[in-house]
Amino acid sequence: MVGIISYGAYIPRYRIKVEEIARVWGANGAEISKGLGVVEKSLPDMDEDTITISVEAARAAMARRDINPVDIEAVYVGSESHPYAVKPTAVTVGEAIGATPVMTAADYEFACKAGTAAIQTSMGLVKSGMVKLSVAVGADIAQGEPGDALEYTAAAGGAAFVIGNDDPIAEINHTCSFSTDTPDFWRRENKPYPRHGGRFTGEPAYFKHVIGASKMMLEKMGTKPSDYDFAIFHQPNGKFPVQAAGMLGFSMDQIKPGLAVTYLGNTYSGASMVGLSAVLDVAKPGDRIFMTSYGSGSGSDSFDMTVTDVITSDLFHREAAPSVASLLADKKLVDYAVYAKHKGKVVMME
């Protein structure tokens, strides 16, 4: 059955506190931090971008399992911050893991859910027999304009999933999507930062789609929230996923293991997938996982998964790559000046 063959996550080491960003803009940091449910967020090093993050995550996935790279016949990378407008991130990932040249590859964009869309594409190719294995990555160096509300959460990180038919560590029982033309958040061509519709991003955008896809999934599978051991929801901040879980009837215990946002921030295309990685870091055979991503514009992809005993077998080496918890713990806090330098906000005169 189609499922996750391996996975890996990557989070750059640097962090900045929400309060430090607020200090620079003369805002009430404690209040903003509490309001968003985010304490600190990750940021890239000078030489990190969505390509390097995707490569690190894909390499971590390869490290966890003895995969013949030649069997990887497709690579899809979902991101809002592909370094090139024209030239794929996915081929660099393919090269880095030795999957080239007999493979198909493409970059995806659907705001914060391009990574889960890549998983769905991979599932289709694998299930149809067109490819043996496919890699789906969601990664971002999330953009947020200095001084804008997004700046407090826009973070860096990503996760990669190898999708295949044979001996998955987690079977994907079903996936379904809920999409409409709802412009709550967007970035036009040649613009460095996204814009958003303020409060419009909540009820008619995030909640309508996350709840819509999740309910569709529960109905299709004939399940109820208590049937799952873990649930992951797209986490643009610490409040929305908790509210969505509450509206659907999931408990804090079910969502906490996959709620990485508090000390990570919003990694956009990486957000749900880093959450799923954190859950797979601790999941046991037989555990059932519910995941719903969200991408502005807008859509949600929902997944129902069951962890298999392969995850604790000799076929899989969970400890061969760092867990999300250890990536989060291995951190270096910086101030806004260093953050500005790392994010390329300090422009040198030529």
Interface residues with another protein (CB under 8 A) are 28, 31, 197-200, 203-204
Measured between alpha carbons, how far is 14 from 141 in angstroms, rounded to an integer? 12
| Residue 80: active-site member | yes
- Judged by CB, which is closer to another protein: 203, or 227? 203
Tally of CA atoms within 13 A in the half-sphere of 212 that contains its CB: 16
Answer yes or no: are the C-beta atoms of 52 and 19 closer than 8 Å: no
Angle at 85 between CA 80 and CA 88, to 5 degrees: 85
Displacement of CA 50 from its chain's centroid (Å): 12
| Residue 234: active-site member | yes
Place of tokens 């067109």: 130
The set of residues, in sequence order, having a beta carbon less than 8 Å from that of 328 and lying 6+ positions away, is 11, 260, 263, 264
- Give the nearest distance from C-beta 199 to another protein in angstroms: 6
Measured between alpha carbons, how far is 184 from 195 in angstroms, rounded to an integer? 8
- Judged by CB, which is closer to another protein: 185, or 303? 185
- Give the nearest distance from C-beta 197 to another protein in angstroms: 7
Single out the catalytic residue among 48, 73, 80, 151: 80
- Give the nearest distance from C-beta 30 to another protein in angstroms: 12
- Judged by CB, which is closer to another protein: 149, or 340? 149
Single out the catalytic residue among 48, 73, 82, 112: 112
- Give the nearest distance from C-beta 206 to another protein in angstroms: 12
Q: Can the peptide bond before residue 272 be classed as cis, meaning omega within 30 degrees of 0?
A: no
| Residue 109: active-site member | no
Single out the catalytic residue among 82, 196, 209, 234: 234
- Judged by CB, which is closer to another protein: 83, or 183? 183
Q: Which residues are catalytic?
A: 80, 112, 234
